[in-house]
Chains A and B, each alone.
Chain A
Amino acid sequence: MAVASEQRTVDLREPGGWRRSKNQIATFFMWLAFVATLVPLVFVLVTVVSKGVGAISWQFLSGSPIPPNVLPLGVGGMGPAVVGTLEITGFAALIAIPLGVLGAVYISEYGGRNWLAKLIAFMADVMTGVPSIVMGLFIFSIWVLHFGYSGLAGSFALACLMLPIVIRSTYEMLLLVPNELREASYALGATKSRVTLTVVLPSAIGGIVSGALLSVARAAGETAPLLFVILTVEATNSNLFSGADTALSTQIFVNAQSPYVGAEARAWGAALTLIVISFALMLIARIVTARFTRYTR
């Protein structure tokens, strides 16, 4: 006991002074930033849901055609726009995802350090920064002027927009695949294509799929690239390849500009529909990622 009492007590309390204050200030600003980010997010969501939920009904989602803006909400529905968005975005994904994934595989696995791979990677980054309306104008001038308005033109415009996103996200995922796995496969006598197909892509598939679906969600909401190329009509056009088409995003644009109550309600309803579609895609992305990465831990 005598020995124990001789021992000096050690002060393990948090030291005060400027160092502690710095910590508290930094923590406070982080919380502030968090709350500040949350405000617009929640505000947008609450506004759209509260104003749009009244418009949502089975008739609104499937009814056709989209009525003239003077008519009230109960007449017709947004069916043509829902069909158009699904068709146009779906076909855009069909173009952009395979192209983007293969492009990223080339840059990461095959290109090595050659000039072509560097050029593609650089151009993809530049394309990410191109305003979406420019993509619309581009497709308008090279496609619509020759072949007329169509959903296909809209798909092209959206695909141009998605391509750099898919390339970027896939490339980042491929970089994360450890080199040891490639070596293990090579050491078993695999060719480069086998290594890529059976080891590299499966290891990265979760990230690739979620990146691709995020790009789809982003494209589904784009308005500017579609404005000039699909014309935004009122009737359902189930043929993607010819004739003017319509989409939710451009319908929001048209209806929201209108002074009539019915049109405004339709715009809010369409906005909510679009958010739900995006949300569903994100959810699928999460599920798919979890499904594909079950062996990675």
Chain B
Amino acid sequence: MEQPEQEVVEQTVSANLPRLETTVKAPVTVPGTTIFDLRNVSIWYGAFKAVTDVSLPVYEHEVTAFIGSSGSGKSTVLRAFNRMNDLVPGARLDGEMRYRGTDLYTKEVSAVAVRRRIGMVFQKPNPFPKSIYDNVAYGPRINGERNKRKLDEIVERSLRGAALWDEVKNRLKQSGLALSGGQAQRLCIARTIAVEPDVVLMDEPASALDPIATLAIEDLIRELKRNYTIVIVTHNMQQATRVSDRTAFFSVLTDSKNDTRTGILVEHGPTQQIFEDPHDSRTQAYVTGRMG
């Protein structure tokens, strides 16, 4: 009885293999330089272990998407990339988080220097209560740029880079808070790229926006990929397939004995593979929408 069953399985696998290969239209992306290299990273908030044992590479000029349910630690890991978790009292990190070969969590590394190279766009658009111009010029100014002409140049370039220039060029002196949600988020992106960072981190940048503004942000992300490395957290799986080259799927591990929950990295790989041929059953369940 067992013998024929095994044969059937083998047949389906071999029959499926060539079909799967033909569905992969995009050329297999050859990974560039490794920007981030995470090895066995665990992050705690006080006694609460938010995420356990994450090992993951992030490559240059790629969009890496973090997907997974709430509480799986995607945002926590994202905020660890530029040490934003330092601002949370009681947060600490174990393991190794290398950025271009340097461990980010050693004594000699200054969080301020890290954040100048690794920018962040937040979930809720958060322009400063200043004019549009001052919002974009803020980063260059705190880095010591005082030359008015250079600042004008940076502001225009950044706003063009964020696809916002044409909409606001005649009202740069207006408050940044007067913009619509989508415009405000693009202003925040312009503000981030004004300091010419190496990496742009995005924490659900489109979740507070309407579908049209969301598409504008996604176009922008594909555009930004040329000059920056992008890591994006998203709840929207279609968004991950639309913008990302690589996807990492996070899940929640529940320990029923101690009643604790912690985030884990289940699987990571090229986006195409994660969505079409996931190796882990949990990933498959999530991307096909059978489980939250």
Contact = CB atoms under 8 A, between A and B. Distances in A.
Nearest to A191: B112
Interface string B107-121: 000001101110110
Interface residues of A, number: 25
B227 to A, nearest CB: 17
Interface stretch (B138-146, B149-157, B160-168, B278-286): B138-146
Contacts of B141: 198
B126 A189 contact: no
Interface in A178-200: 178, 180-191, 194, 198-199
Contact of B130 (A182, A189, A194, A202): A202
A189 B112 contact: yes
Contacts of B64: none
Interface residues of B, number: 32
B139 A188 contact: yes
The residue in A186, A194, A293 that gathers the most chain B C-beta atoms within 10 A of its C-beta is: A186
Contacts of B188: 184
Contact of B142 (A112, A198, A294, A297): A198
B176 A295 contact: yes
Interface in B124-150: 124, 126-131, 138-139, 141-143
Contact of A184 (B89, B126, B195): B126
Given A186-B87, A188-B195, A295-B176, A180 B130 contact: no
Interface string A259-284: 00000000000000000000000000
A59 B24 CA distance: 94
A295 B175 contact: yes
Contacts of A294: 175
B116 A188 contact: yes
B84 A203 contact: no
A187 B130 contact: no
A296 interface: yes
A113 interface: yes
Contacts of B122: 180, 183-184, 187
B121 to A, nearest CB: 8
A296 B192 contact: no
Nearest to B139: A188
Given A189-B142, A199-B128, 18 more contacts: A180-B124, A182-B87, A183-B84, A184-B127, A184-B191, A185-B142, A186-B84, A186-B87, A188-B115, A188-B116, A188-B191, A189-B195, A294-B175, A295-B129, A295-B131, A295-B177, A296-B177, A297-B178
10 contacts: A183-B84, A183-B87, A184-B188, A185-B142, A186-B87, A187-B119, A188-B138, A188-B139, A189-B195, A194-B142
